[in-house]
Amino acid sequence: MPLVSVEGLSIRYGANTVLLHVDMVIEPGEIVTIVGPNGSGKTSLLRAVIGATKPVAGRVVQKPGLKIGYVPQKLHIDPTLPITVERFMRLTNQVSRQRCVDALDSAGVPDLLKRQMSQLSGGQFQRVLLARALINQPDILLLDEATQGLDQRGSAAFYQQIETVRRETGCAILMISHELHVVMSASDRVICLNGHVCCEGSPAVVASAPEYRALFGTGTGGALALYQHHHDHHHDHGENPKEAAE
Ligand SMILES: Nc1ncnc2c1ncn2[C@@H]1O[C@H](COP(=O)(O)OP(=O)(O)OP(=O)(O)O)[C@@H](O)[C@H]1O
């Protein structure tokens, strides 16, 4: 049985339909990356998977007893608030110190337990968020732009860590990323989203798909031109769903 099945999912905020008839299946142990322009519904899809956003149509089926670890896009902690990494990690998890140590180890930052959250670098902060998501040994890890604010080396190191986590724990990874060129080697499958699933497949297949190229340009095989959105087709989700889904 898949870990997560998304079936015919549509999400609307007021009159704005942001996802229409989206199907997605995540199998145990696979790494799936969602790419798509800003506002294409990526975060809404992840939020629907964790049950935080209710669909207007379709459904999300989770494998019974599924444990999910979630790394949000942004987490603001007041810099004047004194809180150690250990305290932060145990705020929402009733776990032993050893579990915190193990999770930090899995996230590649074994020595941060006693540090103040406000004193961490951007890369260390993201690793702590990753550790917090790993603490309950999830079956699937959801990452929403987890490398935002990191430089390219920091991002690459983070994704390498993700591959290590998958190798060592066997957990599936579903992540959103703008950086397909960085995550490419790590992903088993890429889903290109723009209100609907434009195309999906192996990273190489998606990078050369016309739908992907229409969204992200063709420079360097489409993989490095992620911030140039040549969005040349029109979406009219409200009026004619069938046509919009094509
Ligand atoms: N709670 C909400 N209420 C109303 N509109 C929302 C809400 N959340 C998201 N939206 C709108 O839905 C659309 C899709 O947003 P979403 O955050 O899912 O996209 P995204 O692909 O993750 O974008 P980004 O790459 O910029 O993070 C956007 O137009 C956004 O403004």
Q: How far apart are the C-alpha atoms of 134 and 102, rounded to whole Å?
A: 9
As a whole-number percent, the residues of the chain with pLDDT over 70 amount to: 85
Pocket test for ligand 1, best of 12, 16, 237 (most atoms within 8 A of CB): 16
Q: pLDDT tier at 101 (50, 70, 90 boundaries)?
A: very high
Amino acid at site 176:
I
Nearest Cα to Cα of residue 137 among 96, 90, 99: 99
Amino acid at site 131:
A
Question: How far apart are the two ends of the chain, measured CA to CA in Å?
Answer: 29
CATH fourth-level superfamily of 27-40+140-228:
P-loop containing nucleotide triphosphate hydrolases (3.40.50.300)
Question: Where do you find CATH 3.40.50.300 in the chain?
Answer: 27-40+140-228
Check whether 219 has a pLDDT greater than 60: no
pLDDT at 237: 53
| Mean per-residue pLDDT of the chain | 85
Q: How far apart are the C-alpha atoms of 246 and 140, rounded to whole Å?
A: 30
pLDDT tens digits, one per residue of 44-99: 999 999 999 999 999 999 999 999 999 987 788 887 889 999 999 998 878 889 99
Check whether 169 has a pLDDT greater than 80: yes
**Contact at 8 Å (CB) between 63 and 94?**
no
Look at ligand 1, atom 16, and give the residue with the nearest C-alpha.
Answer: 41
Centre of ligand 1 from the C-alpha of residue 12, in Å? 10
pLDDT at 221: 46
Token pair 């322009």: residue: 37
- Residues lining ligand 1, CB < 6 A? 13, 18, 36, 38-44
Q: pLDDT tier at 239 (50, 70, 90 boundaries)?
A: very low
Among 5-9, 59-63, 110-114, 186-190, the minimum mean pLDDT is found in 186-190
CA angle 65–68–72, rounded 5-degree value: 160
What ipTM does the predicted assembly reach? Answer: 0.96
Check whether 198 has a pLDDT greater than 60: yes
Q: How far apart are the C-alpha atoms of 225 and 96, rounded to whole Å?
A: 45
Look at ligand 1, atom 7, and give the residue with the nearest C-alpha.
Answer: 13
Pocket test for ligand 1, best of 12, 44, 174, 227 (most atoms within 8 A of CB): 44
E strands of the chain, at which residues? 4-13, 16-26, 31-35, 57-62, 68-71, 140-144, 172-176, 189-193, 197-201
> Edge-to-edge, what's the strand order for the sheet holding 197-201?
68-71, 140-144, 172-176, 31-35, 189-193, 197-201
Check whether 245 has a pLDDT greater than 50: no
CA angle 120–123–127, rounded 5-degree value: 90
Centre of ligand 1 from the C-alpha of residue 167, in Å? 32
More confident residue, 190 or 182: 190
Q: What is the mean pLDDT of residues 18-22?
A: 97
Q: Give the number of the atom of ligand 1 that is nearest the alpha carbon of residue 45.
A: 18
pLDDT at 80: 84
State whether residue 145 is helix, strand or coil.
coil
Look at ligand 1, atom 2, and give the residue with the nearest C-alpha.
Answer: 13
Contacts of 53 by beta carbon, 8 Å cutoff, 6+ apart: 11, 44, 47
Amino acid at site 95:
V
Look at ligand 1, atom 23, and give the residue with the nearest C-alpha.
Answer: 39
Centre of ligand 1 from the C-alpha of residue 41, in Å? 6
Q: How far apart are the C-alpha atoms of 102 and 176, rounded to whole Å?
A: 25
Look at ligand 1, atom 6, and give the residue with the nearest C-alpha.
Answer: 13
> Does the CA dihedral 213-215-218-222 come out positive or negative?
negative
More confident residue, 219 or 204: 204
